[in-house]
Structure 1
Amino acid sequence: MTDDRANPVDSQTQKPMPNNSNTDSSNTNSNSANNSVVNSSAAKPTSAPEPQIKKVDVAIAGVTYPIYCPVHEQEELHSAVSYINNYALDLKRDAPSLSQESLLVLCCLNLYEKIHTNQRNEEDRLQQSKQSEALINKIMKDAHSIL
Protein backbone atom coordinates (compact mmCIF):
# COMPACT_ATOMS: atom_id res chain seq x y z
CA MET A 1 0.00 0.00 0.00
CA THR A 2 1.21 3.44 -0.76
CA ASP A 3 -0.01 6.91 -0.07
CA ASP A 4 -1.30 9.53 -2.46
CA ARG A 5 2.19 10.85 -3.15
CA ALA A 6 2.97 7.85 -5.37
CA ASN A 7 1.79 8.31 -8.92
CA PRO A 8 1.35 5.04 -10.80
CA VAL A 9 1.35 6.80 -14.15
CA ASP A 10 4.77 8.37 -13.50
CA SER A 11 6.27 5.08 -12.32
CA GLN A 12 5.09 3.25 -15.42
CA THR A 13 6.05 5.93 -17.97
CA GLN A 14 9.32 5.15 -19.68
CA LYS A 15 11.52 7.40 -21.75
CA PRO A 16 12.79 6.09 -25.07
CA MET A 17 16.01 4.14 -24.69
CA PRO A 18 19.01 5.29 -26.74
CA ASN A 19 20.38 2.74 -29.16
CA ASN A 20 24.09 3.10 -29.82
CA SER A 21 24.24 0.52 -32.62
CA ASN A 22 24.18 1.79 -36.15
CA THR A 23 22.24 -0.78 -38.17
CA ASP A 24 21.30 1.47 -41.12
CA SER A 25 24.29 2.25 -43.34
CA SER A 26 22.40 5.07 -45.09
CA ASN A 27 22.57 7.26 -41.97
CA THR A 28 25.20 9.97 -42.26
CA ASN A 29 26.65 12.54 -39.94
CA SER A 30 23.83 14.94 -40.84
CA ASN A 31 21.43 12.46 -39.25
CA SER A 32 23.67 11.68 -36.26
CA ALA A 33 21.32 13.49 -33.85
CA ASN A 34 18.52 11.19 -34.99
CA ASN A 35 20.69 8.07 -34.63
CA SER A 36 20.90 8.31 -30.87
CA VAL A 37 17.17 7.78 -30.27
CA VAL A 38 15.43 4.74 -31.74
CA ASN A 39 11.72 3.91 -31.65
CA SER A 40 10.95 3.08 -28.01
CA SER A 41 8.89 0.04 -29.01
CA ALA A 42 12.05 -1.62 -30.31
CA ALA A 43 13.98 -1.16 -27.05
CA LYS A 44 11.69 -2.40 -24.29
CA PRO A 45 13.24 -3.51 -21.01
CA THR A 46 12.90 -7.19 -20.15
CA SER A 47 12.17 -6.71 -16.45
CA ALA A 48 9.24 -8.24 -14.58
CA PRO A 49 5.94 -6.44 -15.15
CA GLU A 50 5.09 -3.84 -12.53
CA PRO A 51 2.11 -4.64 -10.32
CA GLN A 52 -1.12 -3.00 -11.39
CA ILE A 53 -1.78 -0.02 -9.13
CA LYS A 54 -5.24 1.37 -8.49
CA LYS A 55 -6.35 4.53 -6.71
CA VAL A 56 -8.67 3.66 -3.83
CA ASP A 57 -10.52 6.27 -1.79
CA VAL A 58 -10.71 5.23 1.86
CA ALA A 59 -12.63 6.95 4.66
CA ILE A 60 -11.30 7.11 8.20
CA ALA A 61 -13.30 8.97 10.84
CA GLY A 62 -15.33 10.77 8.21
CA VAL A 63 -12.41 12.00 6.07
CA THR A 64 -11.64 10.46 2.69
CA TYR A 65 -8.04 9.78 1.69
CA PRO A 66 -6.81 8.70 -1.77
CA ILE A 67 -4.49 5.70 -1.53
CA TYR A 68 -2.59 4.07 -4.40
CA CYS A 69 -2.63 0.35 -3.79
CA PRO A 70 -1.57 -2.73 -5.78
CA VAL A 71 -4.71 -4.46 -7.00
CA HIS A 72 -3.81 -7.71 -5.21
CA GLU A 73 -3.64 -5.85 -1.86
CA GLN A 74 -7.04 -4.11 -2.07
CA GLU A 75 -8.86 -6.63 0.12
CA GLU A 76 -6.20 -6.28 2.83
CA LEU A 77 -6.39 -2.48 2.52
CA HIS A 78 -10.16 -2.51 3.02
CA SER A 79 -9.78 -4.75 6.04
CA ALA A 80 -7.16 -2.42 7.55
CA VAL A 81 -9.28 0.66 6.83
CA SER A 82 -12.29 -0.95 8.48
CA TYR A 83 -10.28 -1.80 11.62
CA ILE A 84 -8.60 1.63 11.81
CA ASN A 85 -11.85 3.48 11.10
CA ASN A 86 -13.66 1.64 13.91
CA TYR A 87 -10.72 2.27 16.24
CA ALA A 88 -10.60 5.99 15.34
CA LEU A 89 -14.37 6.37 15.78
CA ASP A 90 -14.12 4.76 19.24
CA LEU A 91 -11.41 7.26 20.17
CA LYS A 92 -13.47 10.12 18.75
CA ARG A 93 -16.44 9.08 20.92
CA ASP A 94 -14.20 9.25 23.99
CA ALA A 95 -12.60 12.56 22.96
CA PRO A 96 -14.96 14.39 20.57
CA SER A 97 -12.99 17.65 20.66
CA LEU A 98 -9.85 16.13 19.08
CA SER A 99 -8.88 17.43 15.65
CA GLN A 100 -8.63 14.88 12.84
CA GLU A 101 -4.84 15.10 12.93
CA SER A 102 -4.69 14.59 16.72
CA LEU A 103 -7.19 11.75 16.45
CA LEU A 104 -5.05 9.96 13.85
CA VAL A 105 -1.85 10.54 15.85
CA LEU A 106 -3.49 9.09 18.97
CA CYS A 107 -4.85 6.21 16.89
CA CYS A 108 -1.36 5.47 15.51
CA LEU A 109 0.23 5.60 18.96
CA ASN A 110 -2.40 3.26 20.43
CA LEU A 111 -2.14 0.83 17.53
CA TYR A 112 1.66 0.85 17.80
CA GLU A 113 1.34 0.01 21.47
CA LYS A 114 -0.92 -2.94 20.59
CA ILE A 115 1.53 -4.17 17.95
CA HIS A 116 4.48 -3.81 20.30
CA THR A 117 2.63 -5.67 23.09
CA ASN A 118 1.76 -8.50 20.68
CA GLN A 119 5.40 -8.72 19.57
CA ARG A 120 6.61 -8.90 23.17
CA ASN A 121 3.99 -11.56 23.95
CA GLU A 122 5.11 -13.58 20.92
CA GLU A 123 8.75 -13.32 22.04
CA ASP A 124 7.72 -14.46 25.54
CA ARG A 125 5.81 -17.43 24.07
CA LEU A 126 8.82 -18.42 21.97
CA GLN A 127 11.10 -18.22 25.02
CA GLN A 128 8.67 -20.31 27.10
CA SER A 129 8.43 -22.83 24.27
CA LYS A 130 12.23 -23.15 24.14
CA GLN A 131 12.39 -23.58 27.92
CA SER A 132 9.64 -26.21 27.81
CA GLU A 133 11.40 -28.09 25.03
CA ALA A 134 14.71 -27.98 26.94
CA LEU A 135 12.96 -29.29 30.09
CA ILE A 136 11.27 -32.11 28.17
CA ASN A 137 14.61 -33.06 26.57
CA LYS A 138 16.26 -33.12 30.00
CA ILE A 139 13.47 -35.28 31.45
CA MET A 140 13.74 -37.67 28.46
CA LYS A 141 17.51 -37.87 28.85
CA ASP A 142 17.19 -38.53 32.61
CA ALA A 143 14.51 -41.18 31.99
CA HIS A 144 16.72 -42.97 29.43
CA SER A 145 19.68 -42.92 31.79
CA ILE A 146 17.56 -44.61 34.53
CA LEU A 147 16.32 -47.34 32.21
Structure 2
Amino acid sequence: MTDDQSKFIEKQPKNPQIKDNQAQSTGLQSQPTNKMTKNPEPQIKKVDIAIAGVTYPIFCPVHEQEELLSAVSYINNYALELKRDAPSLSQESILVLCCLNLYEKIDANKRSEEDRLQQNKQSEALLNKIMKDAQSVL
Protein backbone atom coordinates (compact mmCIF):
# COMPACT_ATOMS: atom_id res chain seq x y z
CA MET A 1 0.00 0.00 0.00
CA THR A 2 3.05 2.24 0.12
CA ASP A 3 5.03 3.94 -2.59
CA ASP A 4 8.04 1.75 -1.74
CA GLN A 5 6.02 -1.34 -2.55
CA SER A 6 4.87 0.11 -5.85
CA LYS A 7 8.47 0.91 -6.81
CA PHE A 8 9.45 -2.67 -5.99
CA ILE A 9 6.73 -4.11 -8.15
CA GLU A 10 7.37 -1.71 -11.02
CA LYS A 11 11.12 -2.46 -11.02
CA GLN A 12 10.69 -6.19 -11.60
CA PRO A 13 12.09 -7.27 -15.00
CA LYS A 14 9.45 -7.17 -17.70
CA ASN A 15 10.95 -10.04 -19.68
CA PRO A 16 12.92 -12.48 -17.52
CA GLN A 17 13.99 -14.48 -20.61
CA ILE A 18 16.11 -11.58 -21.82
CA LYS A 19 18.05 -11.61 -18.55
CA ASP A 20 18.63 -15.39 -18.85
CA ASN A 21 19.67 -15.09 -22.51
CA GLN A 22 22.13 -12.33 -21.66
CA ALA A 23 23.59 -14.45 -18.87
CA GLN A 24 24.01 -17.41 -21.23
CA SER A 25 25.65 -15.32 -23.96
CA THR A 26 28.18 -13.91 -21.47
CA GLY A 27 28.92 -17.33 -20.03
CA LEU A 28 27.26 -16.49 -16.71
CA GLN A 29 24.59 -18.78 -15.50
CA SER A 30 21.81 -17.49 -13.32
CA GLN A 31 21.08 -19.49 -10.24
CA PRO A 32 17.56 -20.74 -9.75
CA THR A 33 15.54 -18.80 -7.23
CA ASN A 34 14.14 -20.62 -4.26
CA LYS A 35 10.41 -19.94 -4.34
CA MET A 36 9.80 -21.75 -1.07
CA THR A 37 11.00 -19.48 1.72
CA LYS A 38 10.33 -19.63 5.42
CA ASN A 39 8.59 -16.25 5.48
CA PRO A 40 6.70 -15.84 2.21
CA GLU A 41 6.28 -12.28 1.01
CA PRO A 42 2.72 -10.99 1.27
CA GLN A 43 0.99 -10.96 -2.07
CA ILE A 44 0.59 -7.41 -3.32
CA LYS A 45 -2.27 -6.42 -5.56
CA LYS A 46 -2.86 -3.20 -7.48
CA VAL A 47 -6.22 -1.76 -6.48
CA ASP A 48 -7.71 1.25 -8.24
CA ILE A 49 -9.58 3.36 -5.70
CA ALA A 50 -11.78 6.39 -6.40
CA ILE A 51 -12.10 9.31 -4.02
CA ALA A 52 -14.33 12.24 -5.00
CA GLY A 53 -14.26 11.20 -8.64
CA VAL A 54 -10.49 10.80 -8.96
CA THR A 55 -8.97 7.32 -9.36
CA TYR A 56 -5.73 6.43 -7.60
CA PRO A 57 -3.74 3.20 -8.10
CA ILE A 58 -2.76 1.69 -4.75
CA PHE A 59 -0.55 -1.34 -4.15
CA CYS A 60 -2.01 -3.23 -1.24
CA PRO A 61 -1.35 -6.58 0.45
CA VAL A 62 -4.14 -8.93 -0.59
CA HIS A 63 -5.14 -9.61 3.03
CA GLU A 64 -5.65 -5.84 3.61
CA GLN A 65 -7.75 -5.19 0.52
CA GLU A 66 -11.11 -5.41 2.30
CA GLU A 67 -9.95 -2.97 4.98
CA LEU A 68 -8.63 -0.60 2.28
CA LEU A 69 -11.95 -0.64 0.45
CA SER A 70 -13.79 0.08 3.70
CA ALA A 71 -11.50 3.06 4.36
CA VAL A 72 -11.98 4.28 0.78
CA SER A 73 -15.75 4.13 1.19
CA TYR A 74 -15.61 6.19 4.40
CA ILE A 75 -13.20 8.76 2.97
CA ASN A 76 -15.04 8.99 -0.36
CA ASN A 77 -18.36 9.67 1.37
CA TYR A 78 -16.79 12.40 3.48
CA ALA A 79 -15.00 13.91 0.45
CA LEU A 80 -18.22 13.93 -1.57
CA GLU A 81 -20.00 15.75 1.28
CA LEU A 82 -17.24 18.37 1.29
CA LYS A 83 -17.43 18.68 -2.49
CA ARG A 84 -21.22 19.11 -2.30
CA ASP A 85 -20.91 21.79 0.40
CA ALA A 86 -18.02 23.62 -1.31
CA PRO A 87 -17.91 22.72 -5.00
CA SER A 88 -15.08 25.16 -5.71
CA LEU A 89 -12.60 23.28 -3.47
CA SER A 90 -9.74 21.61 -5.30
CA GLN A 91 -9.17 17.86 -4.95
CA GLU A 92 -6.07 18.62 -2.90
CA SER A 93 -8.04 20.84 -0.48
CA ILE A 94 -10.72 18.19 -0.13
CA LEU A 95 -8.12 15.54 0.74
CA VAL A 96 -6.38 17.88 3.22
CA LEU A 97 -9.70 18.53 4.97
CA CYS A 98 -10.38 14.77 5.04
CA CYS A 99 -6.99 14.17 6.65
CA LEU A 100 -7.56 16.88 9.25
CA ASN A 101 -11.00 15.49 10.05
CA LEU A 102 -9.66 11.96 10.43
CA TYR A 103 -6.86 13.18 12.69
CA GLU A 104 -9.40 15.03 14.84
CA LYS A 105 -11.45 11.83 15.21
CA ILE A 106 -8.38 9.72 16.01
CA ASP A 107 -7.21 12.25 18.60
CA ALA A 108 -10.67 12.46 20.19
CA ASN A 109 -10.80 8.64 20.46
CA LYS A 110 -7.32 8.60 21.98
CA ARG A 111 -8.30 11.20 24.59
CA SER A 112 -11.53 9.31 25.35
CA GLU A 113 -9.56 6.10 25.87
CA GLU A 114 -7.09 7.88 28.18
CA ASP A 115 -10.02 9.34 30.13
CA ARG A 116 -11.62 5.89 30.45
CA LEU A 117 -8.35 4.40 31.70
CA GLN A 118 -8.00 7.18 34.27
CA GLN A 119 -11.60 6.68 35.42
CA ASN A 120 -11.01 2.92 35.71
CA LYS A 121 -7.93 3.53 37.89
CA GLN A 122 -9.88 5.92 40.11
CA SER A 123 -12.78 3.45 40.39
CA GLU A 124 -10.41 0.62 41.24
CA ALA A 125 -8.66 2.72 43.91
CA LEU A 126 -12.01 3.69 45.43
CA LEU A 127 -13.23 0.09 45.38
CA ASN A 128 -10.00 -1.08 47.08
CA LYS A 129 -10.44 1.60 49.79
CA ILE A 130 -14.05 0.57 50.38
CA MET A 131 -13.02 -3.11 50.63
CA LYS A 132 -10.27 -2.26 53.16
CA ASP A 133 -12.71 -0.18 55.21
CA ALA A 134 -15.30 -2.99 55.08
CA GLN A 135 -12.70 -5.58 56.20
CA SER A 136 -11.62 -3.41 59.14
CA VAL A 137 -15.24 -3.12 60.30
CA LEU A 138 -15.76 -6.88 60.13
Establish whether TM, by shorter chain, passes 0.5: yes
Percent of pairs with identical residues: 74
Q: Which runs of 5+ in 1 are unaligned?
A: 14-32
Separation in 2, partners of 1:95, 1:42 = 54
Q: TM-score, normalised by structure 1?
A: 0.75
Separation in 2, partners of 1:114, 1:64 = 25
How much has 1:39 moved relative to structure 2? 3.4
Greater C-alpha Rg? 1
What residue is the counterpart of 1:6 in the other structure? 6
Separation in 2, partners of 1:120, 1:48 = 37
Q: TM-score, normalised by structure 2?
A: 0.80
Question: RMSD value over aligned CA atoms?
Answer: 2.5
Which runs of structure 1 show a deviation greater than 4 angstroms over 4 or more consecutive aligned residues?
Answer: 10-13, 42-47
Separation in 1, partners of 2:65, 2:6 = 16
What residue is the counterpart of 2:129 in the other structure? 138
Could you report, residue by residue, the CA deviation over 1:41-92 in whole angstroms, capped at 9, with x for unpaired residues? 1677945111000000000000000000000000000000000000111111
Separation in 2, partners of 1:4, 1:134 = 49
Equivalent residue pairs, number = 126
Separation in 1, partners of 2:117, 2:55 = 40
What residue is the counterpart of 1:54 in the other structure? 45
